[in-house]
Amino acid sequence: MDADFSVEDALSLRTVSAPAWNDDASRAGYLRFGDGETTFAHGAPGGDPTAVPGPVGGFDWRPGHPDGVALAADGDVTLRDVSTGESRTLASADADHAGVTWAGPDRLLYVRDCSVWGHDLADGGVAELLTDVRSTPFGVAPLAVSPDDELVATVRDADDGPGELVVYDVDLGEHVRGWRPPNDRVVAGYDWVGPDHLVYALDDTDASARRFRSVRVGVDDGPGVTLLSETSDVVCVEPTPVGADDGWFACLSDRDGHAHLYLVDAGARRAAVASDADGEAAPGFDGEGVVRVTEGAFEARGDATDLPAWSPDGERVAFVTNEADAGERRLHVADREGTVERVVDESANVHSVDWGANDRLLCVRAGRTEPADVCALESGAEGRSDADDPYVRVSDAYPDRERLSAFPEPEPVSFDGTGGETVRGYLYLPDGEDGAWAGDDRPAVVWCHGGPVRQMRRGFHHMRSYAFFHLFNHVLVSRGYAVLELNYRGGIGYGHEFEQGVAGAIGVDDVDDCVRAAEFLRGRPEVGDRVGLWGLSYGGFLANAVATKTDAYDAAVNFAGIWDWREWVRYAESFGWGAARRFRAQFGGGPDDPGTAEAYEVASPCEFAGDLDAPLFALHGTDDPNVHFEQMDLLVDELVDRGAEFETAYYPGEDHMFREPATWRDAMGRVLPFLDGHLRE
């Protein structure tokens, strides 16, 4: 490996997300993050991508116009011709726009100030269609447009309970349907399966049950017909159904212990299930109209929010699994009968699949030494494992790819958890011996991801946070450190039991995994006695926890981690964030509910502040929407009151994952000396 791989080299990365084909699949668009800004970029496979200057929050290609795209940028919605570079502003306001979605080639929908607006390009008319659309710091409720472009479904907030699932007729200009679930349930996802046929997921607020329901607009009153149902300790896979246009939808369930793919003929299923006037039937997942596509001890998803994609004709579905390697994701295609063919059996991490015209597939793909790029693939490549380059890049995530190809191969490692569970990770060791900190003197660092429903991969990660930290880990490797990217209990990729491994034991079993990771590293002949831990978000919480609850580490670095779980859950519940429901279920209830006090106390590092043992460095952005900056205030107040020694750095205006290169230069300029000072003898 290049011994001089630096923070500046890491900051050269341009991460990509949200790939989508244009109308004829001749060009792909995507969001690109670099230099502290998210922009829209586009290009043809194998060509040079074009980046549109200025920050962008979202985009949608115009139907019937291969060169037309709508962009949401700060307070503007613009229509851009990507062939000429010309653009015109459709809407401008002080408030941000979001959810740009076409309802036909001449009607654009978007959300501003929690209202859905419709812009008619044919006559220039603009109208406010719906108010009180659900909005959180992370975005707005999706606008799902029916296949005939006449209806739009979304969720509206209510002052005193769960949000209302509403349908608006954009042709008639009127609200045509609304249904609000009882207070112990929430609409978790929805999509159209036909011009007037909507399917939605309804979750119990304690995450113990899920139902997929069918609604025929103009036919069904109330909740509709329950097509599928399941119960669990915590229903945790992505709830959104993915509709084809002719009555079918795809969904995920881990009812047998792993997240698997099911295809459902909604019409046939409606006819097969018992009469369900009140929506309370529990038909399960078996029987007529349901096709199970995958089964076995693996997962059929890219990450916790990844979804499959239908072909334009609705006859096939593309998805990913980690069947071949738990730390990778490979692309597959199945027909409606559930027959699966592997598109290409290549070591990769594939995510965010889109299926465009002319049978062209699009995805985000990362490799063991290759950063995530938007790539195209002809679906006719099934079985072409001998193809020289089945994936064709659209984006260019890193300017000097040869430097990354010299990174050491990730070494899969594992050890036993508390109850004999297998805990895994990927170990990176410096190549050769450079004469400094080698063998018994080499320091080591454990990296902990956030979530915790995430997974570090066998190489590069598709998410911006973990792609950059993966490079920062290689900065450490280039400086002579051994680095273990740990997949502790609570993460995805290894089945439901592993994912729920911290239920009732947050701050206990996950912390024990970290302790055992330090023991594992000290037992390696390439590593010395000094081991540190750093992490982001939930990983930052683990840094706080190992520093206060154990003596396993010689240093800990917390990026935006939780200090007091009670205050964080109250914060997340204040705006109805789904993550709060999940954690409530794992704690056995909210922080103010009877019988939960001990679980929250055991989980919260603040309760063990007096036992702070390892040097602790905490860093946080003041505009963090995920883990409110209050957590940093609480940490500082507690440790100052106790006279503890610790270090902090806060960054005004920064997000959960820092955005600005200058912030990272400063933060890493402090973190690297901190680690060196405590881990190098």
What residues form DSSP beta bridges with 194? 197
pLDDT of residue 441: 83
* Number of CB atoms found within 10 A of residue 660's CB: 17
Residue given tokens 């055991």 in the structure block: 602
Question: Rounded CA gap, 136 and 316, in Å?
Answer: 34
φ, ψ for residue 560, nearest 5 deg: 55, 45
pLDDT of residue 94: 76
Evaluated on CA atoms 458, 463, 465, 467, the torsion sign reads positive
Question: Rounded CA gap, 32 and 71, in Å?
Answer: 13
* Number of DSSP helices (H) and strands (E) in the chain, helices first: 12, 42
Q: Confidence band (pLDDT; 50, 70, 90) for 435?
A: very low
Q: Is 202 helix (H, G, I), strand (E, B) or coil?
A: strand
pLDDT of residue 3: 63
Closest by CA position to 91, among listed 80, 81, 77: 77
Average pLDDT over residues 368-384: 78
pLDDT at 277 over 70: no
What residues form DSSP beta bridges with 619? 559, 649
Q: Confidence band (pLDDT; 50, 70, 90) for 379?
A: low
- Domain spans, the chain: 87-175, 408-564+604-679
pLDDT of residue 440: 65
pLDDT per position as a tens digit, 488-533: 999 999 999 999 999 889 999 999 999 999 999 999 999 999 999 9
User: Is it true that domain 408-564+604-679 has CATH number 3.40.50.1820?
Assistant: yes
Average pLDDT over residues 440-456: 94
pLDDT at 438 over 60: no
CB contact at 8 A, 239 and 210:
yes
Residue given tokens 């653009």 in the structure block: 87
pLDDT at 2 over 70: no
Q: Measuring CA to CA, how many Å separate 433 from each of 60, 121, 413, 540? A: 51, 65, 22, 31
CB contact at 8 A, 430 and 408:
yes
What distance lies between CA 131 and its chain's CA centroid?
28
Question: Rounded CA gap, 366 and 87, in Å?
Answer: 33
Question: Rounded CA gap, 72 and 54, in Å?
Answer: 11
Evaluated on CA atoms 469, 474, 477, 482, the torsion sign reads positive
Q: Measuring CA to CA, how many Å separate 350 from each of 42, 343, 427? A: 19, 12, 21
Q: Confidence band (pLDDT; 50, 70, 90) for 357?
A: very high
Whether the bond into 223 is cis, omega within 30 of 0: no
What distance lies between CA 440 and its chain's CA centroid?
38
- Tell how strand 482-487 and strand 444-448 pair up: parallel
Residue given tokens 């812009």 in the structure block: 119
pLDDT per position as a tens digit, 580-624: 888 998 999 999 999 999 999 999 999 999 999 899 999 999 999
Angle between helix 630-641 and helix 565-573 axes, rounded to 10 deg: 160
Question: Rounded CA gap, 391 and 571, in Å?
Answer: 43
475 or 384: which leads in pLDDT: 475
Question: Rounded CA gap, 334 and 256, in Å?
Answer: 20
457 or 503: which leads in pLDDT: 457
pLDDT at 407 over 80: yes
Q: Is 90 helix (H, G, I), strand (E, B) or coil?
A: strand
pLDDT per position as a tens digit, 104-150: 999 999 999 899 999 999 998 999 999 999 888 878 899 999 999 99
First to last CA, the chain: 24
Q: Is 654 helix (H, G, I), strand (E, B) or coil?
A: coil
Q: What's the mean pLDDT when you consider all of the chain?
A: 92
Question: Rounded CA gap, 229 and 208, in Å?
Answer: 11
Instruction: Identify the burial level of 436 via C-beta atoms within 10 angstroms of its C-beta, where 0-12 means exposed, 13-18 middle and 19 or more buried.
Output: exposed
pLDDT at 433 over 80: no
pLDDT at 250 over 50: yes
Evaluated on CA atoms 284, 287, 292, 295, the torsion sign reads positive
Average pLDDT over residues 26-55: 95
Closest by CA position to 398, among listed 477, 327, 468, 480: 468
Structure letter (DSSP) for residue 479: T
Question: Rounded CA gap, 261 and 3, in Å?
Answer: 44
33 or 95: which leads in pLDDT: 33
Structure letter (DSSP) for residue 642: T
- For 411, half-sphere exposure in the C-beta direction (CA atoms, 13 angstrom radius) is 13
Question: Rounded CA gap, 362 and 359, in Å?
Answer: 10
pLDDT at 633 over 90: yes
Strands annotated E in 93-160: 97-102, 107-112, 115-120, 126-130, 135-136, 139-140, 144-145, 151-158
Closest by CA position to 273, among listed 223, 216, 228, 231: 228
Residue given tokens 């599928």 in the structure block: 228
pLDDT at 235 over 90: no
Q: Confidence band (pLDDT; 50, 70, 90) for 555?
A: very high
Evaluated on CA atoms 45, 49, 52, 54, the torsion sign reads positive
Q: Is 328 helix (H, G, I), strand (E, B) or coil?
A: coil
438 or 651: which leads in pLDDT: 651
CB contact at 8 A, 467 and 460:
yes
pLDDT at 543 over 70: yes
**Rounded to the nearest 5 degrees, what angle is found at the Cα of 51, between the Cα atoms of 361 and 29?**
20
Question: Rounded CA gap, 616 and 550, in Å?
Answer: 13
Q: Tokens representing 357?
A: 């015209």
Question: Rounded CA gap, 86 and 82, in Å?
Answer: 7
Torsion of CA 275, 278, 282, 286, to 10 degrees: 40
Q: Measuring CA to CA, how many Å separate 606 from each of 314, 599, 663? A: 52, 13, 27
